[in-house]
Amino acid sequence: MINRFNSAFWICFSIILVLLAIAPFFLPPFWQRFLTEILIWGLLAMSSDILIGYTGMISFGHSAFFGLGMYGAAAALLTVSPPNLWLAVIYGLIGAGAVALFVAYFSTRLRDIYFAITTLIFSQIFYVIIFTWTEVTGGENGLTFSRPRLSIPWLYSAPFTAETLHWFVLAVVTASYLLLRRITQSPFGMVLQSIRENEARTRAIGYPVERYKIVAVMLSGLFAGLAGVLYAIQNRFAAPDFVYFLTSGETVIFNVMGGIGTLVGPIVGAGFFLLLREMFSRFFTEYYLIPVGIIFIAMVIFMPQGLLGFLRRWLNR
């Protein structure tokens, strides 16, 4: 039974992966870019699913990790010449990881609502710092830089095209997905899920709950930072808007829309949200959040398991 489920999963996984990989050949440039963007936001949403879905902690501060990944990449691309892709990734991860360690140390002392508020306030601290420290971060205008070349050390080096950028993002997101999936199925992931189900009992069994939570927040922050690096490379700028609370809020929306605790769900949610945004901004221009917000509230009330959970239940009926 388990084997059959497993092989079905891998078949589905391969089909979707192949479809995503060959998509650039069929899609017009606008939708091609759109798809790449969905993957990047999907990675951000997936990283926060580690906390929301698996550990039961809602983070409203993922914009800090995402933003620091962006600014870390910017630092590498602006200070080191010629700009190096892998250095950008490393700097971004260091930036996001440092922030994640700081946030995790303080916020994991709190539970539930207090955790959500604390992460929100931490992300606002970083927003204020980035926004006001104009000499280093460019303040309100942010930083612009050129895109590095796609390079594999000693093997290959070429400028990014729209297609190779898409494949690069796809590769990173797929690798992250597989890694996160493995982590959630590992003993470590099981402990996280038991914290979600019953924290007191997990502690009584003898697991150092706080340490597990800190590692979970850091892990989540690192992947969010990775998404920030990808976004910086795609758009060639870093701006304080992305550290603002709205990005964190959207991350939570992706999760709830797609279905928490599924890893794939948040990516679906990100795609759904961006499609809704695209659709509604045709009619409502910049006020698209009015209808999207109403849909979101309705989904919280009527479809708490998200699109994917809803689909799963509907298939199992």
Contacts with another protein by CB under 8 A lie at: 58, 106, 109-110, 112-114, 116-118, 120-122, 124-125, 128-129, 131-132, 245, 249, 252-253, 256, 284, 286-290, 292-294, 296-297, 300-301, 304
The rounded distance, in Å, linking the Cα atoms of 126 and 162 is 32
The least distance separating another protein from the CB of residue 255, rounded to whole angstroms, comes to: 9
- CB 244, min distance to another protein, A: 9
Distance from C-alpha of 249 to C-alpha of 226, rounded to nearest angstrom = 18
> Would you say 91 or 244 has its CB closer to another protein?
244
Cβ-based nearer residue to another protein, 216 or 289? 289
Of 51 and 96, which has the nearer Cβ to another protein?
A: 51
Which phi and psi angles does 84 have, rounded to 5°? -120, 130
| Smallest separation (angstroms) from another protein to the CB of 100 | 16
C-alpha count within 13 angstroms, C-beta hemisphere, residue 210 = 7
13 vs 245, beta carbon nearer another protein: 245
Closest contact distance (angstroms) between CB of 32 and another protein is 29
Kindly tell me which of 23 and 117 has the beta carbon lying closer to another protein. 117
For residue 273, the minimal CB distance to another protein (Å) is: 12
User: What DSSP element (H or E) covers 163?
Assistant: helix 162-185
**Torsion sign, CA atoms 23, 275, 120, 106:** negative
- Which residue number, 172 or 252, has a Cβ lying nearer to another protein? 252
Rounded least distance, CB 115 to another protein, Å: 10
Structure tokens at 142: 């942010």
Task: Identify the three-state secondary structure at position 274.
Answer: helix
